Structure formats: C-alpha cells, structure tokens
C-alpha cells in the first residue's frame, strides 16, 4: 500500500503544504514520519525517457532488485485451480489493482516460471517480456501518474523450485506428497504469483483456490465461501488488512480444523494435517492467552483472525504468515509442550512485529526477529516471573560468549536470518534497552512504536527515535554498540560480559 514513490509524494506534499494535517495518515504522529526520511525527492522536471519505465527494483539496500517502482498495488486477487496435486499443475489468474505513482510506458512485476497465456491492462491486451525474475509489461496506452489500473495475468504450469539469496532453503510454493504449502520470506512469492515483491508495497488479498476432493485450502485471512463443484471444491479467503507479499500463503492438504476464541474475543482457527495425532493441538492451546497478553503489552492485535497450520512435513522451521503461522512437523516436540509453546509465541508475536509493522529495508531484519525472540522472554516472564526471564537472558548471553558473529544490525545478505546475530543478540538488545531506560519507558516505547507503524513499515532509526523520545535519553551510542559493534556489549547490571 505504500512504496518509496508514495513516500516521495508524501514528502513533496509535506514541503508544499505547511499544514501537515491535511496531507497524511501519519500526520497525527508525534514523532518523525515513518520510513523514508532519507528518500530522495525527484524533482518533477526530472521526468525523462527513463522516468516512463517503472524501475525494476525498490532500492532495498541488501536486495536492490526486489520489488519494482512506479506503482503501488492495493489489491491482489489470486484465482488458482490445482489440476494435479502431485505436480501442483496450476491454471491461474492474478488480478492486480494498482495506482501509478509516475507516468508509465511500462512497468515490472516479479514472477518466476509458468507459461503466461495473456496479460491485459485495463481490459486491453498488453505486450510483455521476461528476463530472469523480471516481467516487464507494456500497456497499449501509457499510464499517467495517479491513475488507477488493473492488470490481469493468465498463466499455467507447475511452480519452479526457488531458493533465496537470503537463505539457502527451498521457498515459495512447495509441493510435497499429498499436498503443498507456501512459505516465502523474503522472496519466494514470485514462485506462484506475479507480484511487487517487497514489504514496502503492502496490499489486501483475495484467494480463490480450487482443489480436487478431498483436499482443502488454508490461506491468509477469513474463509468467506466454499463451493462444491462436484469433484472439486473452491475455497475463497479474504485478507482484508494490508499485507506484505512474503506473508501470503496458500496451503493444501486434508486438515483437522479447530476453532476457538481468545477471552478478549480474537477468533482463532487452526489447521492440522489430518494424518497428525490429536496431541498436535496441545502446544497451540494457549494461543488465545498469548494473543490477549501481547494485545495488552504491545497494543490491540492488529488482524481479524489468527491461527496456526501444521503440515505433516519436515521443513525445519516455522513462518509467521499473516493471520496464519505455519509449522513443519519437526518444529513440534510432542514430549515438551512448553518448549514448543515458545516457538508458537515467537510466530504469534511476529503478527505485531514483522507482519503489521514490517521492515522498510531487509537489512533491518532484527526488527522482526529480535522482537519475536524477546517476546519469548516476555512470555516466560509472564508465566514464571522475572527471575526466570533473567535466567533466560543469561543463558542466551552465555550462548554467544566467546563466539564471533556478525553484528545484529549488519547480518550477511546471504545469511539474513543468522540465528546468533539477528535472533539471539537482537533479543538481548531489547533486554539491554529495557535495563538502560527502565521498564516504564521500555514498554511505552514498544506500545508507541507499534501504534505509529502498524499496518506499515519502519526502520531501525524509527525505532531508536521512539525510544529516545519516550525515555528522554540520547541512545545513539547504546544502539551503535548493540547493533553494529563486532563484539557484543556487556550488560553490567547483570554482570554479563564483564571480564
Ligand atoms: N521468519 C521465520 C521465523 O523466524 C524464519 C524464516 C525466514 C523462514 N525465512 C523463512 C521460515 C523461509 C521458513 C521459510 O519465524
Ligand atoms: Zn521469527
């Protein structure tokens, strides 16, 4: 829903109109405006030949080719029919509603594989060409800045196997025996739909997925309709809150479905692969409590619904897809429910930090993973008290001691989710901040940061600005040390790291 261009417009608007209030959804924010303070404002007279082709990337500092410029997607509709489950042979149509943020002779989408049958823009056939992951579309009539337009892409085939530059695992649409699932962070989405694939361009989604009986579909948002077509069924899901593209998920299997509600009234639906035993439900039983607890600590849960999906497949990880976190079966320790609950807490807390407040640049991934990791500590403290949290902090700190890892704020672009740097030291950074500014300012910082940036994007500097404003302290040195020093700083108050 927002990209650099809309931010440029926002700033141009800021410059022109001194009455900021009239101009922006952020205008009530007591702090500096979100995201792209540093965005370069392109003067209006700089429009040349080049300005009429949308850029092939959104300028991410780690992955400049991710996403595309020149337009802002508002809604995706994915119509997908699975013809053959064994190969995920699909007949598909993606409909994209977008606004041009500049004049456009052509624009790009990210898309991998498939045979494209036809592309239309505003109902008229459009030319297109493909190069690697870039799909370049040239509409019959050029688009003008501010114009809303609709792109329809018809395609078919089986998704290709995609590996990310950011971590060497298969991602995107993954076909397994008896089903398929989607886990895309950070760049797997283009493996099943044409997309502006960067978290800066959030949009709402409709999923209309047709599968052979007896298979079922679990996707983001709310199941609004199921149609029995005879030997197939169609499932329609609406994800009505803005969502980063990497969080879109469509999972196909036979499921045991469980529904409940948190005491605070948040609806929950869980999907468990039907082959799994009944005990699979245990580590997910407290999700309602968790949602209500974090709603109190961070601010009201930002989406319509929550839940989890467990595949009967090992994939060595879990992912915080918006409103529907997904877990590989190897993430579940049947013998240790409380330990598995900590993974459940991690993905659930990501709904606030990662999903609702998303990174504006992938280099800031600690804003997702450090926060979700520290949320595990907060849950431990909630259940067992401060001493148990302190023990958890100490064991995490000791785990890093002596090792040499990249600093939290500078993980390697080829190992973005470096566990020690981003998760462990990222989580410790928040605990150190809590000790530095005190509990009251710390929790007020989390709440204010969430309130300001929910449904949008934030940078590390945005977070630091909130912490400084709330605490009244100058924190640049503190964050420099914790985020960018090669060696992990000591935590004097806990006697950690002191020789
Ligand atoms: N964000 C996930 C977590 O920590 C980890 C993750 C990143 C991941 N990329 C992924 C998981 C791709 C599965 C697939 O919760
Ligand atoms: Zn995580």
Q: Which residue from 62, 185, 359 has its CB within 8 A of the most atoms of ligand 1, so it is best to mutate?
A: 185
User: How far is it, in rounded angstroms, from Cα 351 to Cα 270?
Assistant: 15
Task: Please indicate whether residue 319, judged by its CB atom, sits closer than 6 Å to ligand 1.
Answer: yes
CA-nearest residue for atom 7, ligand 1, is 185
User: Does the beta carbon of 171 sit less than 6 angstroms from any atom of ligand 1?
Assistant: yes
Q: Which atom, in ligand 1's list, is nearest to the CA of 188?
A: 12
Q: Any idea which of 32-46, 165-179, 364-378, 414-428 has the lowest mean pLDDT?
A: 32-46
Number of residues assigned to the chain:
499
Return the pLDDT at 499. 63
**How far apart, in whole angstroms, are the C-alpha atoms of residue 322 and residue 247?**
6
Q: Contact 110/133 with Cβ under 8 angstroms?
A: yes
Closest CA to 244 of 3, 69, 34: 3
Measured by CA distance, the residue closest to atom 6 of ligand 1 is 319
pLDDT at 315: 85
What is the residue-averaged pLDDT of the chain? 91
Is residue 449 scored above 50 in pLDDT?
Answer: yes
- Rounded to whole angstroms, the Cα distance separating 148 from 214 reads 40
- Residue 157, SS3 per DSSP: strand
Residue-wise pLDDT tens digits, 305-355: 999 999 999 988 999 999 999 999 999 999 999 999 999 999 999 999 999
Q: What is the pLDDT of residue 423?
A: 98
User: For position 155, what pLDDT does the model report?
Assistant: 99
Residue-level pLDDT at 13: 37
Best residue among 187, 411, 417, 427 to mutate for probing ligand 1, ranked by most atoms within 8 Å of CB: 417
Q: Which helix (H) or strand (E) holds 478?
A: helix 476-479
Nearest ligand to the C-alpha atom of residue 170: 1
* Across 35-39, 65-69, 201-205, 457-461, least confident range: 35-39
Q: Is the CB of 417 under 6 A from ligand 1?
A: yes
Verify whether ligand 1 is closer than 6 Å to residue 320 (CB atom): yes
**Which ligand lies nearest the alpha carbon of 187?**
1
Q: What is the DSSP letter of 52?
A: G
Which residue is closest in CA terms to ligand 1's atom 8? 319
- φ/ψ (deg, to 5) at 396: -65, -40
Going by alpha carbons, the residue nearest to atom 13 of ligand 1 is 319
- Residue ID of nearest Cα to ligand 1 atom 2: 319
* Ligand 1 pocket, mutate which of 66, 165, 174, 318 (most atoms under 8 A from CB): 318
Ligand 1 centroid to 327 CA: how many Å?
A: 10
Q: Using the 8-state DSSP alphabet, how is residue 489 labeled?
A: P
**Predicted confidence (pLDDT) per residue in 116-127, tens digit:** 999 999 999 999
Any atom of ligand 1 within 6 Å of the Cβ of 317: yes
Give the Å distance between the CA of 478 and the centre of ligand 1: 28
Cα separation, 24 vs 10, in Å, equals: 7
Ligand nearest to the CA of 372: 2
CA of 183 to the centre of ligand 1 (A): 8
pLDDT at 396: 98
Instruction: Tell me which residue has its CA closest to atom 12 in ligand 1.
Output: 185
Tell which residue, 455, 459, 492, has the closest CA to residue 243. 455
DSSP state of 124: E
Strand partners, 209: 80, 235
What's the pLDDT at 402?
Answer: 82
* Phi and psi, residue 76, nearest 5°: -115, 135
Residue 385 alpha carbon to ligand 1 centre in Å: 29
Cα 318 to averaged position of ligand 1 atoms, centre (Å): 6
**Mean pLDDT to the nearest integer, 182-209:** 98
How far is it, in rounded angstroms, from Cα 240 to Cα 305?
A: 11
Angle, alpha carbons 416-340-169 (nearest 5°): 30
Alpha-carbon Rg for the chain in angstroms: 23
347 lines ligand 1 (CB under 6 A): yes
For residue 148, the model assigns a pLDDT of 98
C-alpha to C-alpha distances, 26 to 22, 159, 169, 289, 367, nearest whole angstrom: 10, 39, 37, 31, 20
- CA 232 – CA 217 distance, rounded (Å): 12
CA dihedral of 249, 255, 260, 265, whole degrees rounded to 10: 20
Q: What is the pLDDT of residue 150?
A: 98
The bound ligand whose nearest atom lies closest to the alpha carbon of 371 is 2
CB 340 within 8 A of CB 348: no
Residue % of the chain over a pLDDT of 70: 90
Range with the lowest mean pLDDT among 35-44, 96-105, 488-497? 35-44
How many other CB atoms are found less than 10 A from the CB of residue 334? 13
Instruction: Supply the residue whose CA is at minimum distance from atom 9 of ligand 1.
Output: 185
For ligand 1, whether the C-beta of 183 sits within 6 Å is yes
pLDDT greater than 90 at residue 34:
no
Q: Which of 46-60, 223-237, 260-274, 277-291 has the lowest mean pLDDT?
A: 46-60
Which residue's CA lies nearest to atom 11 of ligand 1?
319
Task: Please give the distance, rounded to the nearest whole angstrom, from the Cα atom of residue 374 to the centre of ligand 1.
Answer: 16
* pLDDT at residue 50 in the model: 54
Q: Looking at ligand 1, which atom is closest to the CA of residue 350?
A: 15
- Predicted local distance difference test score (pLDDT) of residue 171: 94
Q: Which atom of ligand 1 is nearest to the CA of 325?
A: 15
**What average pLDDT score do residues 118-137 get?**
98
Q: Residue 190 Cα, ligand 1 centroid: separation in angstroms?
A: 17
pLDDT score for 316? 86
Q: Which of 283, 101, 338 is nearest to 200 (CA)?
A: 101
């Amino acid at each position: 829903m927002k990209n650099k261009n809309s931010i440029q417009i926002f700033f141009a608007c800021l410059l022109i109109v001194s009455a900021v209030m009239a101009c922006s959804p952020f205008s009530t924010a007591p702090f500096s405006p979100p995201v792209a303070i540093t965005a370069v404002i392109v003067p209006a007279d700089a429009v040349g030949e080049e300005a009429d082709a949308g850029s092939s990337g959104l300028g991410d500092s780690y992955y400049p080719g991710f996403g595309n410029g020149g337009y802002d997607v508002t809604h995706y509709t994915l119509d997908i029919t699975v013809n053959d489950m064994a190969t995920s042979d699909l007949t598909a149509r993606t409909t994209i509603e977008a606004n041009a943020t500049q004049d456009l002779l052509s624009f790009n989408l990210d898309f991998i594989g498939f045979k494209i049958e036809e592309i239309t823009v505003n109902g008229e056939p459009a030319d297109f060409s493909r190069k690697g992951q870039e799909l370049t579309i040239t509409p019959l009539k050029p688009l003008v800045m501010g114009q809303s337009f609709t792109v329809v892409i018809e395609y078919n085939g089986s998704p290709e196997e995609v590996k990310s530059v950011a971590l060497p695992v298969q991602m995107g649409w993954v076909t397994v025996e008896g089903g398929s699932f989607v886990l895309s962070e950070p760049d797997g989405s283009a493996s099943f739909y044409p997309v502006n694939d960067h978290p800066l361009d959030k949009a709402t989604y409709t999923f209309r997925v047709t599968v052979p009986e007896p298979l079922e579909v679990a996707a983001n948002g709310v199941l609004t309709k199921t149609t029995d077509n005879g030997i197939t069924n169609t499932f329609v899901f609406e994800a009505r809150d803005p969502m980063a593209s990497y969080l879109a998920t469509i999972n196909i299997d036979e499921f045991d479905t469980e529904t409940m509600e948190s005491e605070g009234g948040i609806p929950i639906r869980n999907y468990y692969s039907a082959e799994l035993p009944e005990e699979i439900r245990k580590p997910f039983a407290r999700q309602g409590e968790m949602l209500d607890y974090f709603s109190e600590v961070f601010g009201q849960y930002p989406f319509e619904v929550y839940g989890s999906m467990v595949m009967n497949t090992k994939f060595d990880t879990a992912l915080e897809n918006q409103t529907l976190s997904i877990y590989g079966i190897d993430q579940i320790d049947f013998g240790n429910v409380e330990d598995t609950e900590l993974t459940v807490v991690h993905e659930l807390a990501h709904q606030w930090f990662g999903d609702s407040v998303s990174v504006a640049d992938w280099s800031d991934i600690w804003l997702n993973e450090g926060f979700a990791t520290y949320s595990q500590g907060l849950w431990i403290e909630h259940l067992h008290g401060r001493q148990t949290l302190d023990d958890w902090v100490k064991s995490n700190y000791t785990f890093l001691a002596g090792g040499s890892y990249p600093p939290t704020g500078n993980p390697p672009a080829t190992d973005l989710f470096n566990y020690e740097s981003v998760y462990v030291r990222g989580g410790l950074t928040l605990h150190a901040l809590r000790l530095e500014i005190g509990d009251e300012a710390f929790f007020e910082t989390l709440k204010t940061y969430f309130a300001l940036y929910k449904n949008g994007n934030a940078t590390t500097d945005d977070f630091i600005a909130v912490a400084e404003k709330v605490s009244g302290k100058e924190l640049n040195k503190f964050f420099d040390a914790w985020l960018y020093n090669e060696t992990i700083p000591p935590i004097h108050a806990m006697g950690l790291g002191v020789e």
